[in-house]
Structures are given as structure tokens and as C-alpha cells.
Amino acid sequence: MDSFIIEGGHPLKGEIKVSGAKNAVLPLMAAALLAPGKSVLSNVPKLIDLKIMAHLLRVIGARVDYENEQMAIDATTCTCYEAPYELVSQMRASIYVLGPLLGRYRKAIVSFPGGCAIGSRPVDLHLMGFEKMGAKIEIEHGDIIAECKDGLKGAEIEFPFVSVGATANILMGAVLAEGITTIKNAALEPEISHLVDFLCLMGAKIEGKDTSTLTIEGVKELKPANIRVIADRIEAGTFIIAAAITKSPLKVVNCNPEHLKALMIKLEQAGCHFRVEDNDIFVLSAEEIKPVDIVTEPFPSFPTDLQAQFMTYMALANGCSHITETIYPDRFLHAAELNRLNANISVKNGTATINGVQSLSGAEVMATDLRASAALVLAGLVAKGQTKISRIYHIDRGYDKIEEKLSNVGANIKRVLG
């Protein structure tokens, strides 16, 4: 398994480019199954999760060509409606094929997704929504067996709390359903708005984009479409924090500042300033890092996917800060690894207390999940001496060549194979 070796203390300088958003591409890939013909996604990053999803679409029968930041998906000859355990167990977002398969083929067998390092990750809201739309759902031998012989029917669905995945899945089932579907308490994440854009380009009829109530009028059929994937707000946020923690004059380019407001507000409270020019953010870092408390909540509040990275920044604050994780209360495995680097963090009942220290010191640490590994990279950039991060396949799931991008702006980070 590959590792990163990072020599800390190198300031960063110049411009760092943000790639397309992993969490936008995954639902778009599933949505392409809804129409016969070839859809083309551009600005697609090269990530393990997208390779797994491409493999799953091929198992279902689609032709997928994925290279040079472009993905072409031809779903004309889809014949299989099964998402097997060996793929779903590697990548939870495989559950996204449930909606399109039910919508187009009226049957789907999707392995029941297990948990992961950040929590149990249930899918009960996805299944509740499809049952309300007339699907018969059975769980047998670890598989979700879903069927709607007469097709999905429009329904009124209200989620008890925001779920990005359930909103996306029900959306993709509703666009071919008979009648009107209303989704209440829908997720407001930019990746959902982007999915609505793509589905409308395919011919879907959806009202309420960027609001918490989506109304979908089912149509008989959809056609393939092309779209340029939005910038990855989590990658962009990770690089902004890299600039702040190394106190470097870094410009984060090709991002959408509108998607990063919650992070920028918290970083300004910590003492940072920003110069925003269209799709670029120039980071003016705080000399002294002020402690700031955060609570993770659905968009537009502070995103859980930037919680670990922000914790690394607070590890060097001039005082005590608190992080409350309301989305995944167990999402704190990175705290113990940061403590190996001389941080002073304790976790209790879904809240981390971070007592800032003067400096971090390099050591061997282990990546446990995607965003935790990004937090450890940020720590390595400033820790005194050498930091070795093992199991970095986690980071390759969601960051396209992060070591190259950081090396290009002055970081001393190398990938050690094997």
C-alpha cells in the first residue's frame, strides 16, 4: 500500500487548480443510465471512486469511456439491473443506481451498503421514498431487491432530516415515474442542484432547484445530455486550509466561492482574509490562528467533509476550540492520528475539544478514511520534520494527484509505492 512522506515547514506559493467534484460526478454517472444513448461528462477528475462506479455501470451493461478528464456513458444496451456486493462494498455511492434502474427497468438488485470508517451510513430514507412511489422492497441475503411492475408512481415524500444521497436517488427515480413527485426537506448541496441541471438537460421536468422542496413531473422518456462538472468544493476547501495552515500566499483557482462561504466565514473568524476574483480565491493567512468553534450541518452550513481538515488547522490555534459533528458523530478517527503528531485533542459525545499547541511534530500516522487522510496531509505540511502517512489509497478515492498539486506550489511531499 502506498504512503506519503512529507517534510514539513515548506511555505506554499503560486496557484493550485481545483478539479471537478467527485460527489457531483457520482450521481451524474448513475443518471446517465436513465436514457438510451451517449451522455458526456467533462472536467471529470481521475479518482478511484469514479473508476469503481464506471466498472459498476459496465456490469449493468453501459459502455463507459473514462479518460483525459472526460467520461462518455452510453446506456443504450443496459441489460443487467444488479449492483453486486464486491462493488457496492467498495463504494457506497453505488446505491445511486437504485433510482435509475427502478425508473427505467422497474427492477433493481443492489447489495445492501455496509458502514464505513465514519459511521453506519443507513439507506432507510432511500428505501422509504421508493416504497412511497410504489416499489416493493425486500432485503434478502444482504441484497436490496426492489421491484415496481407497473412502474414508479409520483408521491409526496418528506425526509425527516436532510440526506444528499436519498434526495439524489429519489430525484433519479421520479423523473420517469408516472405523475408528480414532491420531495420535501430536500438537500440543498450544490451537487444536487447540478444533478437537477443535468436531469433537466435530459428532458426531465423539475421545479424548485436550490430550494428544500423539489417537484418532479414524470416524463415518458429522457435523452442523453452533456455537462461540464462543477468544481469540487471540498478539494477547494482543503487547499484553502493548506494555505491558511502554512501561512502561504496561495491562489486556489477554478473553484466556486459561492460554495465555500461557510468555511471562509470560519477562517475569517480565525484571522484569515480572502481576495475573491470570479472563480479564484486568494488566501491571506492569519499570522496568529484564533480558536473557532464549528458545528457541521447540511449545506449551506459548515460541511462535514471539511471537518477533519479544519480540526488540523485548529490544532495550531492560540487557544481552545470545539468541533461538533452532527452529520456523522463518529467522524473523529483523525483526532487520534493528529495526537500522534503532538496535537492535543479529546473527543466525547460527538464533540471534539482541541487545545491548540505551538507546533506539530512529524511521525508515522495512518489514513483511516478519505477526509481524515487529507487532514493528515495538511498536518504533515507544517509538522516539524518528516511525517509518513500510510494507507493513502483512502486519499486517492477523492483527490486527483494531490501530491503533484501540492508539490507544484512548493510542498515537499512524495508518494512511496508499495
Q: Which residues are catalytic?
A: 116
Of residues 165 and 224, the one with the C-beta less far from ligand EPZ: 165
The rounded distance, in Å, linking the Cα atoms of 125 and 298 is: 16
Of residues 123 and 272, the one with the C-beta less far from ligand EPZ: 123
What residues contact residue 374 under an 8 Å CB cut-off, 6+ apart?
A: 238, 308, 309, 395, 398, 399, 402
Q: Is 26 in the site for ligand EPZ (CB under 6 A)?
A: yes
Q: Is 165 in the site for ligand EPZ (CB under 6 A)?
A: yes
- Selected from 64, 93, 308, 314, the binder of ligand EPZ by CB under 6 A is 93
Number of residues that bind ligand EPZ (CB under 6 A): 21
Assign 224 to helix, strand or coil: coil
Of residues 4 and 328, the one with the C-beta less far from ligand EPZ: 328
Per-residue interface string for the shown chain with ligand EPZ, residues 355-384, x marking contact by CB under 6 A: ---------------xx-------------
The rounded distance, in Å, linking the Cα atoms of 253 and 239 is: 10
Q: Is 157 in the site for ligand EPZ (CB under 6 A)?
A: no
- Asked if 88 contacts 113 with a C-beta cutoff of 8 angstroms, the reply is yes
Minimum CB separation from ligand EPZ for residue 126, in Å? 5
Take residue 120 and report the three cell numbers written for it.
453506519
The rounded distance, in Å, linking the Cα atoms of 319 and 147 is: 56
Q: Is 119 in the site for ligand EPZ (CB under 6 A)?
A: yes
Per-residue interface string for the shown chain with ligand EPZ, residues 280-319, x marking contact by CB under 6 A: ------------------------xx--------------
Take residue 69 and report the three cell numbers written for it.
478528464
Q: Is 193 in the site for ligand EPZ (CB under 6 A)?
A: no
Minimum CB separation from ligand EPZ for residue 385, in Å? 29
- The amino acid occupying position 129 is G
- The amino acid occupying position 85 is Y
- Mark the segment that binds ligand EPZ (CB under 6 A) among 163-171, 223-231, 349-357, 400-408: 163-171
DSSP, residue by residue, 34-66? GSSSEEEEES----HHHHHHHHHHHHHT-EEEE
Closest CA to 205 of 154, 161, 162, 167: 154
Per-residue interface string for the shown chain with ligand EPZ, residues 394-413, x marking contact by CB under 6 A: ----x---------------
Minimum CB separation from ligand EPZ for residue 165, in Å? 3
Which residue is at the shortest CB distance from ligand EPZ? Answer: 165
Of residues 326 and 342, the one with the C-beta less far from ligand EPZ: 326
- Asked if 52 contacts 91 with a C-beta cutoff of 8 angstroms, the reply is yes
Minimum CB separation from ligand EPZ for residue 51, in Å? 14
Assign 36 to helix, strand or coil: coil
Take residue 244 and report the three cell numbers written for it.
491558511
- Selected from 328, 343, 405, 413, the binder of ligand EPZ by CB under 6 A is 328
Assign 90 to helix, strand or coil: coil
The rounded distance, in Å, linking the Cα atoms of 214 and 237 is: 28
- Selected from 121, 184, 223, 228, the binder of ligand EPZ by CB under 6 A is 121
Angstrom distances, CA of residue 151 to CA of 126, 214, 319: 17, 20, 58
Q: Is 122 in the site for ligand EPZ (CB under 6 A)?
A: yes
Could you give the count of Cα atoms lying within 13 Å of 45 in the half-sphere of its Cβ?
25
Question: Footprint of ligand EPZ on this chain (CB under 6 A)?
Answer: 23, 26, 93, 119, 121-126, 163-166, 304-305, 327-328, 370-371, 398
